[in-house]
Chains A and B, each alone.
Chain A
């Protein structure tokens, strides 16, 4: 009879982090398996070496620099001061060029972000690992053992907490139009690991229906979702049980929205989009292409 090796549990066994029953099972297996005993020897050796990591004290010079920043703000370095003076270059042409460039970028952004209707691609391919994680999170929220890392209805609180806990950004506006009154409510946020990246699950309700938003930095994902600067390609997928998923990227973060809301779940988008122009854009979403 074949018995499963216990190599994945050996560090926990060495550290006494296993339950009594698991520890007994590991002990029993080790008595019979030379391969796992060799692994245990190696892992124990590594653990013994790691014990020698020190806990040095903070230097006395640390507090004065923190205090200086808190009381006066950071002083510019020599390089920063040089950059501020543009290193002797004439300022007027630089300023005009920068303003022209900004105007062009703003115009392009307005055209692609505001003027154009959103392009939605309907996908029939298997969901990505990131998307599958979002679907799992959606279902997990319905379980009684689900708990938020931060349970809140407050958008400001959620944004601040998320930024500090994970450096992820949640573009949840603080002011909402009157039409949202009573129809949209935040539930909370929880950090998980998805597709190899630290990701945030944001839960909310629209018209009493659960919506789950999963987001992570694109650079941290171990799979490629979509590409293109200013790309607004939104991948829509109809999952089982009337659930829909939307996958997109914005400002370096990947997003998956999962909901059972009707009409492609576009109502779920009102969490982040509160202006009449953006909502008109959302209402124009029309899945056309298929892949």
Chain B
């Protein structure tokens, strides 16, 4: 990098802020929940100006994404999931003004969600005994009423088992199976290598297989 005088590098950072071409497009990446929406960078600009309508639209685009990650991370604890989702969107609202778009927006959003999940986990670990934190009936009640009763029970038990994983192993499982992120995308969100993601998924899969061995024949095969 060329060596700049103090006024020059101050001016260059001002130019960086004004350089709209550096702002990213909000590209839905492997997220079925947001594929129906395709906001562009001017949308983010509107939020940065404090436009509540734009923020509401951003919320509508990402609310299910954020909430589903939070709920699955919390093992079906709706209160915890709502706290996490609320925290994420409040951070989004307060921080969009300083978001300059040097990284992909969805990666940035997922990182905020992951951090909020970890913060909530640390907070609740101090307050709530682990065995009381996952009411089984809450899990089955959150899923679609159209699902077969057995599938609801299966989803409930899988959710409880996932909640029993350590956060480090739980997050790759949730990001992969709830949001369909690739290993590279998960690695960018978690700040680790794709190899580490693969290793954690290995351990997570084995844990689920052993913990839910009584359900293995009922879960069925197929594409993952």
CB within 8 Å of B: which residues of A?
A: 7-12, 14-15, 17, 39, 42-59, 61-63, 65-67, 69-70, 148-154, 156-157, 160-161, 164-167, 176, 178, 180-182, 185, 187, 191-193, 198-199, 205, 208
A66 close to B208 (CB less than 8 A): no
What are 15 sample pairs from A and B whose C-beta atoms fall under 8 A apart? A46-B205, A46-B209, A48-B219, A51-B177, A53-B158, A55-B33, A57-B68, A69-B90, A161-B103, A164-B95, A165-B103, A166-B111, A167-B115, A187-B1, A205-B1
A58 close to B9 (CB less than 8 A): no
Contacts of A45 in B (CB 8 A): 205, 208-209, 216, 219
A49 close to B158 (CB less than 8 A): yes
User: CA–CA, A150 to B191, complex, Å?
Assistant: 13
Interface residues on chain B, size class? 35 or more
User: CA–CA, A58 to B72, complex, Å?
Assistant: 12
Question: Is residue B91 contacting chain A, with contact meaning CB distance below 8 A?
Answer: yes
CB within 8 Å of A: which residues of B?
A: 1, 3-7, 9, 12-13, 16-17, 32-33, 52, 55-56, 59, 63-64, 66-68, 71-72, 78, 82, 85-86, 89-91, 93, 95, 98-100, 102-103, 108, 111-112, 115, 119, 142-144, 151, 154-155, 158-159, 161-162, 173-174, 176-178, 182-183, 190-196, 198-199, 201-202, 204-210, 212, 215-216, 219-222, 224
Tell me the dominant secondary structure on chain B's binding face.
Answer: helix
How near does chain A come to B104, taking the closest CB pair, in angstroms? Answer: 10
B115 close to A166 (CB less than 8 A): yes
How near does chain A come to B148, taking the closest CB pair, in angstroms? Answer: 12
Most buried by A among B85, B95, B155, B224: B224
> Nearest residue in A to B205 (C-beta to C-beta)?
A46
B202 close to A10 (CB less than 8 A): yes
Evaluate whether A46 and B207 lie within 8 angstroms (CB atoms) in the complex, with A167-B115, A187-B1 already known: yes
B98 close to A42 (CB less than 8 A): no
> Nearest residue in B to A7 (C-beta to C-beta)?
B202
Evaluate whether A50 and B204 lie within 8 angstroms (CB atoms) in the complex, with A42-B209, A55-B68, A70-B90 already known: yes
- A-B contact sample (4 more), CB < 8 A, given A191-B191, A193-B196, A198-B192: A9-B198, A10-B202, A52-B158, A198-B191
